[in-house]
Structure formats: structure tokens, C-alpha cells
Amino acid sequence: MPPHAETAVAKFLSGFNCAQSVFYAFCDDLHLDRDAALKLACGFGAGMGRKGEVCGAVTGGILVIGSKHGRGEKEEKTVMELTYAKTRELMERFAKIHGTCICRQLLSGCDLATEEGQKYLKENDLLHKTCIPCVRSVVEILEDIM
């Protein structure tokens, strides 16, 4: 497993969410403060605040892409096109591997906003069966497209 993937998986297993774990793994490359990155990515976990929308690993990956290629105040508007293209590539490649980018679909309809959903996640070991492979996939795709 590449160093970024090892870092992301270790962070995820230590209790941080999928978005935080992916973004954190690239902090050194992006010259970002680790604590600030964890805070910034926090709300994106579990499909955006446990809403089951776009997978947090994917949104963490989008934060990485934006941090590296995004448009700031000094860049021309055309810079957004590269960011958008890399974002689409990440999402398309992820969906090709996992079938979707939607968290609740990846988790077979599990509603993480409920106690029942969180219990289902634990009882069916979805963190290891689904979430860790998603974190790993995003990191590997990022390493390829960055």
C-alpha cells in the first residue's frame, strides 16, 4: 500500500472520518496545516454530515484536487477547468470501481444519521468491507491523476 493510502487508512481507523482521512494524507504534499485540514474536511464525512450523499472519501479527494489545482484570487478563471476535469475523473473512476459515488448506495441503504444505521454499519463491518476500500481507492486515484 502506498504511503498516502497507509496514512489515510490509519487516520480513518483512529476515528477520523473518510473525508478527513483522505485530505489529511496529502497535507504534507499540499503544504497544509494538518489540524486545519481535519477541521475543514470534518463536515464532509459520511456523505456530508451523515446525509449519505457523495462519499466522504470522494469529497476529501475533491478537497485535495482543489487545494492543488483550484482557482484562487490570483489565477485566471480557466484554472477552474482543470480542477473540474480532475474532479470528474476522480468521480468517474471511483464510480467505475465501486458502482456509485453515493454513500448510502455504497452502504446498501444504511442511514448513518440513525442509531439503527450506525448499528447496521458496525454489525456488518461496513467500515472494513466498504469504507476502507473507498478511502484507499480515492487515494490511489489521486496519486494517479495529480
Q: What digits encode the pLDDT tens for the residues 16-71?
A: 999 999 999 999 999 999 999 999 999 999 999 999 999 999 999 999 999 999 99
Q: What letters, b where the CB count within 10 A reaches 16 and e where it falls short, cover 104-131?
A: bebbeebbbeeeebeebbeeeebeeebb
**Residue 139: count of CB within 10 angstroms of its CB:** 27
Cell 465501486 belongs to 98
Helices 56-69 + 79-98 axis angle, to 10: 160
Q: What digits encode the pLDDT tens for the residues 63-122?
A: 999 999 999 999 999 999 999 999 999 999 999 999 999 999 999 999 999 999 999 999
Cell 454530515 belongs to 49
Q: Which of 12, 136, 96, 109 is nearest to 52 (CA)?
A: 109
Per-residue cell: 7 = 496514512
Q: Following DSSP, what letter does each residue of 101-114 receive, concatenated? A: SBHHHHTTT--TTS
Which residues have C-beta within 8 Å of that of residue 86, sequence separation ≥ 6?
Answer: 65, 69, 145, 146
